Amino acid sequence: MTKRILVVEDNDLNRKLFCDVLQAGGFSVEPVADGSKALEMARGFLPNLVVMDIQLQDVSGLDLIARMKGDSSLCEVPVLAVTAYAGKGDEERIREMGAEGYLSKPVSIGPFMAAVKGLIERPA
């Protein structure tokens, strides 16, 4: 069974890069550019992992993570947070909101795929 990954990223180039790399890795990928539609998409797609940009234009990625973790149908789905704004204490704050993984941009392919595989293959 192919693992499903929802990519929530409002930057077109980053979204395409994440999707292309994940698809090349054998994953089924659903891209979402509009953060306000991310939860609705996740409920329909039922991903095994969500790659979540924290700096979305229309809604905070942190708020989306908190709402996902509060949703009974999505609360068990791991989240890999990616952000260009990696200040002191950010990783801790992002993990406190419920993200199981964290990467700062620019993201290198090797660490990105290692983080994805680590989260998607972890025991439930």
* Residue range of the domain that includes 116: 4-120
The one-letter amino acid code at 28 reads S
Q: Are strands 4-8 and 49-53 parallel, antiparallel or unpaired?
A: parallel
SS3 46: coil
Percent of all residues in the chain with a pLDDT value above 70, rounded to a whole number: 98
The one-letter amino acid code at 119 reads L
Q: What is the pLDDT of residues 62-115, one digit of tens each?
A: 999 999 999 999 999 999 999 987 678 889 999 999 999 999 998 999 999 999
| CATH number reported for the structural domain that contains residue 46 in this entry | 3.40.50.2300
Residue 84's pLDDT is: 85
Taking residues 33-49, report their average pLDDT: 96
The total number of structural domains in the chain stands at 1
DSSP string, 49-65: EEEEESS-SSS-HHHHH
